[in-house]
Structure 1
């Protein structure tokens, strides 16, 4: 965790709101950034919304793989909507104040939805593992009931821990400064305003990162190690290429999301800086949801065909 500079403890005060500095250090780029992030938000809503619709209406996409993809696209819409609208509002109005309750609610939703994304990506990796390594048992192992249970578990499993972590973080005493050098209420900059000993809070952050980042990432690595081993044993080059193509989209999203998240929450304290935290946060909160529909449509013939049918109708 990062230690931001703290004001003297004699300046203790009861804070009722924070100020999200965001990109206040670049006032001349204010409207450029607003236009850029507004365009990105529209792309995210349109792209992920389209995938969500086609996975529901096209019978050819009523399979476990696309059921998970539809849920993932809906998750991405929810995830980005917890941070980007507030950022756009701050850029447009220059009113960066956010109440303590709103800040806590934003952090809680970001943490819960982030944990859901980690588990859902792991579930999607397991689905590919069963499809490639155990194709004969695939209809039995990935029946509709199991798929629903896996998705439901992904959505609800992180809720108790993340609510508890949010309550713990906002139960600390904050020092005089109420300025958050970030574009949303994230853990590192919030703890940077805390006074006194925060070792327990930092340990909880590391525990959460291990449970909801490292463990799903490890499961994904195990799944793909078995998948790659199975693919390499396939006799046909065409079959190997098709199997690799099926997994490449998911691997690209995994690399983008987990890479930036792990760097943000698990890199050494000495490597932390507020500006770098903002950059890495942009990757897993905004760029991953934006690239998700692009990655899944560029090389996916089933999705492209479903899109053609949708637009023709």
Structure 2
């Protein structure tokens, strides 16, 4: 690309300055650090316990829990992409980030977001087969099929954000690009550019539709079939048991898409910039911290496995 000037600077590799939350007083940086640190430790602890429980407990070696450990691993990676830098910002005032590191953070954040959406679709499919085609479940949901479904979700999510990252890297920035955010969010990075942001904004919207609307549609379609099958069950006990196997997943899906809706409304509504930033931060933290709580409080098998691990004699 030919060098271009932008407020006296040439096109190249800028230094990224993360503004954080613009109107937040410096006196509140330390309390914010401890709040985010607490959330991060809870996310790590909760999801690690689920990973350990599913791996160690033989009774949990089922497709449903195989996809659950994929979800827990995603939650750990998802938050580790953004939260440590936010902690550094609030504790040390470390606002600077290199341009390649910023692009990497943006790419990983988008990839793990996509992966979570696709894993939730795969989990919905698993519940569909278990309830609507119970006799075919052992044939359809073999270990090889489960691994292929999970690998497809991860691989697709790793490939989807590449065009947006490449295009963003080719935009023109000042020598110091001020990002109005706590981490390198795609839209915030685009808005810091001196180039025309319309194509990138449109691309970001299209990717968001692919990774949000389409997976949600597939999840709703699965549960429409599940609901139709459950209503055909004659016994009340049978209907209750069928619904209970889906309740945790439904709550996780609800939490995930609620956090997306909060982030989207914060961007679209005529609100101060701080609300936009906090909406996105809530999206980055809300789902990973609630997923372990939902599965440990509502799933008896997972709860029993974690209790068994916690009660073991350290010696």
1:259 equivalent in structure 2: 258
User: SS at the partner of 2:160?
Assistant: helix
Q: Any idea what the Cα deviations from partners look like across 1:196-252, whole Å, max 9, x if unmatched? A: 323221221122112111111110011111112222222222222222222121112
1:209 and 1:265 in contact (8 A); partners too: no
Displacement after TM superposition at 1:185 (Å): 0.4
Q: 1:279 to 1:240 in 2, by over 3 A?
A: farther
Q: CA RMSD in A?
A: 2.1
User: Larger deviation: 299-308 or 276-285?
Assistant: 276-285
1:247 equivalent in structure 2: 246
Displacement after TM superposition at 1:191 (Å): 1.2
1:213 and 1:262 in contact (8 A); partners too: no
Which 5+ residue runs of structure 2 have no aligned equivalent? none
Alignment of 1:1-313 (within 5 A): 10-14=7-11, 16-23=14-21, 25-175=24-174, 178-262=177-261, 264=263, 269=268, 271=270, 274-313=273-312
Q: 1:210 to 1:184 in 2, by over 3 A?
A: same
Q: Any idea what the Cα deviations from partners look like across 1:163-194, whole Å, max 9, x if unmatched? A: 22111112111257622121110012111112
User: SS at the partner of 2:170?
Assistant: coil
Q: 1:272 to 1:198 in 2, by over 3 A?
A: farther
Q: Any idea what the Cα deviations from partners look like across 1:69-115, whole Å, max 9, x if unmatched? A: 01110111011000001100111101211111110010011011111
Partner Cα distance (1:124, 1:273) in 2: 37
Q: Any idea what the Cα deviations from partners look like across 1:49-83, whole Å, max 9, x if unmatched? A: 00001111100000000000011101110110000
TM-score (norm 1): 0.91
Q: 1:271 to 1:255 in 2, by over 3 A?
A: farther
User: Larger deviation: 158-167 or 8-17?
Assistant: 8-17
User: SS at the partner of 2:161?
Assistant: helix
Which 5+ residue runs of structure 1 have no aligned equivalent? 1-7
User: Larger deviation: 170-179 or 280-289?
Assistant: 170-179
Q: 1:253 to 1:273 in 2, by over 3 A?
A: farther
